[in-house]
Amino acid sequence: MSLSFEHVGFQYRGTSIGVHDINLSLDSGELVALIGPSGSGKTTLLRLTAGLITGHSGRIVLGGRDLSNMPVHERHIGMMFQHYALFPHLTVLENVAYGLKMAGVKTDERRKKSQKMLELVGLGALAARRPAQLSGGQQQRVALARALAYSPQALLLDEPLSALDASIRGQLRDQIRQLQQQFGATTVLVTHDQEEALAMADRIALLDQGRVLQYGTPTELYENPKNEIVARFVGLSTIVEATVCADNRVDTGYATLACDTAGRATGSAVKLLVRPEHVEADPAEGTANRIAGRVTLNRYLGSYNRYDFVPAGGSEPWLGEARVAPAGSIAVAPEHIRLLAD
């Protein structure tokens, strides 16, 4: 079921906080992640879609139906909250069945469907337990089963993994994605975790101050960010100020680097984007864009080291990743240096 936002705007009373002229379209079965700093409008857009707040301009259209003036219970939307919102006095099975009960599904049918959903999320044996008897990861799966139980036309996920330990987040992230694909639910995911967005989403919308800065695939936002704000928010990066000193050559003040200057005139001020995985540690003499310097901070992360490298004659560090941190030099191939838009 397709979902679209057409010139959607909303401001909280007496403020300019909210969302402004949001235009997004989701294909049927697509998962779109909303990311951005706190206060950027992510959760506001989610709650407008669910009908938990009203009074917006523009249209929110699900499967051809304008949701703007439609009551919450008629929208056919499943929502999974950040803290799961499970009913403590109900069993796990009763929690999953709650939406079906509200929809008027008969007792035997909703029990069978709820039990099947619990089996799908690996909790079939825990149907009689109360939420307090479950771990955080198990509660998360109950909330997901409840959201999917009545086959919603769209699924809204509000920071579904933020309350979980890092050790299980990856596993449950993959499970959510698999179930979302299995049910074909058109899904909007709000998250602060950029890795979560990159790993799960078909497309990502980066919001800032209530506006969409860029909307595209994870690859597009990571490899071709439209501006510095997107580059800094999506993935780790080094951003270096430089001046075009010749065709396809820039001067950083401490090194002259080869890169695609995209026809910019000599003397133009530019900003270079380099991702840490593209920084080569201790390259051979004569390697293009070789820079001497030293590591000022090294972080051992198990399978690799993430380090800060300050060039000789420079003050701002370059961020790199390598199995072994460099002893005295780095390099970045010209094709891995990108100029950010003005």
Question: In terms of domains, do 269 and 121 share one?
Answer: no
C-alpha to C-alpha distance for 222 and 100, rounded to whole angstroms: 40
Give the per-residue pLDDT at 161. 78
Give the number of C-alpha atoms closer than 13 A to the C-alpha of residue 9, restricted to the C-beta side.
7
For residue 65, the enclosing domain spans: 3-230
Question: In terms of domains, do 197 and 311 share one?
Answer: no
The pLDDT tens digits for 47-92 are 999 999 999 999 999 999 999 889 988 899 988 887 778 899 999 9
Q: Which DSSP symbol is given to 106? A: -
Please list the pLDDT of the chain residue by residue as tens digits (342 residues): 899 999 999 999 988 899 999 999 999 999 999 999 999 999 999 999 999 999 999 999 999 999 988 998 889 998 888 777 889 999 999 999 988 888 888 999 999 999 998 998 888 999 999 999 998 888 888 988 998 888 889 999 998 877 677 777 788 888 889 889 988 999 999 998 888 999 999 999 999 999 999 999 999 999 999 999 999 999 999 999 999 999 999 999 999 999 999 899 999 999 999 999 999 999 999 999 999 999 999 999 999 999 999 999 999 999 999 999 999 999 999 999 999 976
Give the per-residue pLDDT at 114. 94
Question: In terms of domains, do 213 and 83 share one?
Answer: yes
How many structural domains are present in the chain?
2
Question: In terms of domains, do 7 and 136 share one?
Answer: yes
Integer CA distances (angstroms), 11 to 22, 210, 289, 319, in order:
12, 9, 49, 39
Question: In terms of domains, do 11 and 140 share one?
Answer: yes
Q: Of the residues 180, 202, 230, which one is the last residue of a structural domain?
A: 230
Question: In terms of domains, do 21 and 128 share one?
Answer: yes
Q: Of the residues 230, 260, 286, which one is the last residue of a structural domain?
A: 230
Q: Return the C-alpha torsion angle 229, 234, 239, 244, nearest 10.
A: -70
Integer CA distances (angstroms), 203 to 26, 28, 175, 209, 218, in order:
9, 13, 18, 20, 6
Answer whether 53's CB lies under 8 Å from 44's CB: yes
Integer CA distances (angstroms), 44 to 2, 134, 182, 210, 324, in order:
20, 30, 28, 9, 44
Question: In terms of domains, do 113 and 137 share one?
Answer: yes
Question: In terms of domains, do 53 and 163 share one?
Answer: yes
CATH of the domain at 42: 3.40.50.300
Give the per-residue pLDDT at 104. 84
Q: Of the residues 230, 250, 274, which one is the last residue of a structural domain?
A: 230
C-alpha to C-alpha distance for 44 and 39, rounded to whole angstroms: 9
Beta-sheet strand order (sheet of 329-331): 280-281, 329-331, 290-300, 305-311, 318-322
Question: In terms of domains, do 261 and 204 share one?
Answer: no
Block residue for tokens 């951005």: 36
Question: In terms of domains, do 149 and 248 share one?
Answer: no
Question: In terms of domains, do 189 and 167 share one?
Answer: yes
Give the per-residue pLDDT at 163. 67
Give the per-residue pLDDT at 133. 94
Question: In terms of domains, do 78 and 137 share one?
Answer: yes
* Token pair in block for residue 59: 């249209």
Block residue for tokens 């259209």: 61
Q: Compute the Cα dihedral for 171, 174, 176, 179 and give only its sign.
A: negative
